[in-house]
């Protein structure tokens, strides 16, 4: 399937410790150019997220949380927020460059939940990342 999205996808969650890391890994597996960050800096990748992704044959155990920057916002062709709103955590000046290229995935963050919940969230993220293959810029 041809890639319609031309630039980089930026996956954003609160701490870049789970769901955005999963989204980045699935997108990279599909051949999409992407990065993942948190609105706040997390300390490490969530153990349940690591285990859930390991079940899919993807190792995220060595990933380190990254923090959202204006440069990343400006470089992105598409910003996907996962379970958070950039409007509530980012300065308005950072959002000015993001408004036309932002979509939100209203997923509950399973950080403090069981591995079963993390698997459900992982599978939903994988499905939504696959849908991005048909995303058209504009």
Over 80: is that where the pLDDT of 130 sits?
Answer: yes
How do residues 31-42 score in pLDDT, each as one tens digit? Answer: 999 999 988 888
80 to 37, 39, 44, 115: CA distances (angstroms): 10, 12, 21, 24
N- to C-terminal Cα distance for the chain? 19
Give the pLDDT band (50/70/90) at residue 93: low
Average pLDDT rounded to a whole number, residues 77-94: 75
**Among residues 92, 100, 102, 93, which one has the least CA distance to residue 12?**
102
What is the predicted pLDDT for the residue at 3?
43
* pLDDT tens figures, 49-85: 999 999 999 999 999 999 988 888 888 889 898 887 7
Round to whole Å and give the CA distance between 133 and 136. Answer: 9
Across the range 120-132, mean pLDDT stands at 94
97 three-class SS: coil
Q: Which position has the token pair 């980045």?
A: 24
Task: Say how far apart CA 45 and CA 95 lie, in whole Å.
Answer: 26
Domains of the chain: 8-133 (3.40.50.2300)
């Amino acid at each position: 399937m041809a890639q319609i999205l031309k630039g980089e996808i930026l996956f954003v969650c609160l701490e870049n410790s789970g769901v955005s890391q999963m989204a980045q890994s699935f997108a990279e597996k599909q051949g999409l150019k992407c990065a993942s960050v948190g609105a706040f800096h997390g300390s490490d990748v969530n153990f349940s997220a690591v285990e859930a992704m390991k079940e899919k044959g993807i190792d995220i155990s060595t990933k380190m949380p990254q923090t959202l920057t204006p440069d990343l916002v400006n470089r992105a062709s598409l910003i996907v927020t996962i379970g958070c709103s950039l409007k509530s955590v980012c300065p308005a000046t950072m959002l000015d460059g993001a408004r036309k290229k932002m979509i939100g995935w209203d997923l509950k963050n399973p950080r403090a939940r069981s591995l079963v919940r993390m698997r459900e969230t992982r599978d939903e993220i994988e499905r939504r990342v696959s849908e991005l293959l048909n995303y058209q810029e504009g």
